[in-house]
Amino acid sequence: MKTRILSGIRPTGHIHLGNYLGAICSWVSMLDKIDERFFCIVDQHSLTTTEDSNDLRKNTLTIAAAYIASGIDPVENHIFVQSHVPYHTELSWYFSCITPMGWLSRMTQFKDKANKNKDQTLTGLFLYPTLMAADILIYKATHVPVGEDQKQHVELTRDIAHAFNSYVGKQVFALPEPIIKKETARIMSLRDGLKKMSKSDPSDYSRIHLLDDNDTIATKIRKAKTDPDPIPSEISGLESRPEAKNLLNLHAIFTNKTMENVLKDFEGKLFSEVKAKLTDATINHMEPIRSKMLDLLNDETSLIKYLKNGANAANNLASGHMAEVRQVLNLL
């Protein structure tokens, strides 16, 4: 069977190291193992949190530039914008007609983001997982690489695929597999090691943006929350030190070492030393990506052309699958 991946990022603010390591790097590592690769900028999902919509156009282009600068070739892969393929929203409507409200109410992300006043909570936020299921299933994706926080939504996508197949009495959709890389599944905030790094965190110091310059990266790492204890020799010594664990994990990722080896290097040392080394490693890795992103953003015409080509390929595949869906639903 042909393998196909679909994944995406919401253009809701500054794309950060969590998105890069948790999502984009895992995509890049799979490029030569998967037959067809679709990478979406899920702009319609951004509208579920309306405070982000002012910068939507700019953020959409920035995310496209991040994909390409990180190594996703826009000719070999299909990079496109969700709103350029209308089949996503059409399929999500059909899915909303077979998805019980109870399934959606149980989603952790909905519970976290829903307004304290239930009557004010947006319908779009509630229906987010049915649109995400449509994003994936309209391409009949076989694999969905995501960070840990999106695992529940991919599991719901499988439930929705199953429910749809049962409703129409035909195996229209195979169940897609989530792919979650353990080491990068959850990059934590630099200000609070118990919270994931997130675009919506009010503090810029909680995350490193892909477009941060070297001085800003150095300042953010210097100001990152830590503790006064020296580095332990064993991973178990980090159990109650989430901020320390996060910084050492980032160091392990950027230097391509195991956590055990990083602990050997730093055992007994203080965080000032870890932070200095982590700053160098982060800048080494991120500087070429930032520079490429800036070049791409300076040539908007080419960037938009890549996105148009990506949307053409996506529309071609999606239209065939949509014809099948309309047929099994007995639409005239």
Q: How far is the CB of 149 from ligand AQP (least distance, A)?
A: 5
Token pair of 258 as six digits: 């195991």
What gap in Å lies between CA 172 and CA 162, rounded to an integer?
Answer: 9
What gap in Å lies between CA 20 and CA 143, rounded to an integer?
Answer: 18
What gap in Å lies between CA 35 and CA 87, rounded to an integer?
Answer: 22
Q: Among residues 197 and 217, whose Cβ is nearest to ligand AQP? A: 197
Rule CB under 6 A: is residue 193 a binding residue for ligand AQP? no
| Of the residues 197, 253, 263, 311, which one makes contact with ligand AQP according to CB under 6 A | 197
Q: How many chain residues touch ligand AQP (CB under 6 A)?
A: 20
Q: Catalytic site residue 196?
A: yes
| Of the residues 4, 5, 10, 190, which one makes contact with ligand AQP according to CB under 6 A | 10
Rule CB under 6 A: is residue 186 a binding residue for ligand AQP? yes
Q: How far is the CB of 57 from ligand AQP (least distance, A)?
A: 16
* CA-wise closest residue to 146 among 175, 179, 176, 177: 179
Binding range to ligand AQP, per CB under 6 A, among 144-152, 236-244, 288-296, 324-332 = 144-152
Unique residue bearing structure tokens 């393929």: 85
Task: Name the residue type at position 72.
Answer: I
Binding range to ligand AQP, per CB under 6 A, among 196-204, 255-263, 275-283, 318-326 = 196-204
Token pair of 142 as six digits: 């076989």
Angle of the 271-298 helix axis to the 214-223 helix axis, nearest 10? 150
| Angle, alpha carbons 268-269-273 (nearest 5°) | 165
Contact in structure between 254 and 285 (CB atoms under 8 Å)? yes
Q: Catalytic site residue 181?
A: no
Q: How far is the CB of 326 from ligand AQP (least distance, A)?
A: 28
Q: Among residues 105 and 108, whose Cβ is nearest to ligand AQP? A: 108
Rule CB under 6 A: is residue 199 a binding residue for ligand AQP? yes
Contact in structure between 159 and 178 (CB atoms under 8 Å)? no
Q: Among residues 197 and 210, whose Cβ is nearest to ligand AQP? A: 197
Q: Catalytic site residue 225?
A: no
Rule CB under 6 A: is residue 149 a binding residue for ligand AQP? yes
What gap in Å lies between CA 326 and CA 320, rounded to an integer?
Answer: 10
Contact in structure between 43 and 83 (CB atoms under 8 Å)? yes
Q: How far is the CB of 109 from ligand AQP (least distance, A)?
A: 7
Task: Name the residue type at position 181.
Answer: K
Binding range to ligand AQP, per CB under 6 A, among 197-205, 214-222, 278-286, 287-295 = 197-205
Rule CB under 6 A: is residue 153 a binding residue for ligand AQP? no
What gap in Å lies between CA 260 and CA 280, rounded to an integer?
Answer: 20
| Of the residues 6, 9, 131, 168, which one makes contact with ligand AQP according to CB under 6 A | 9
The residues annotated as belonging to the active site are 113, 196, 199
Chain residues in the site for ligand AQP (CB under 6 A): 9-10, 12-13, 18-19, 22-23, 146-147, 149-150, 185-187, 196-200
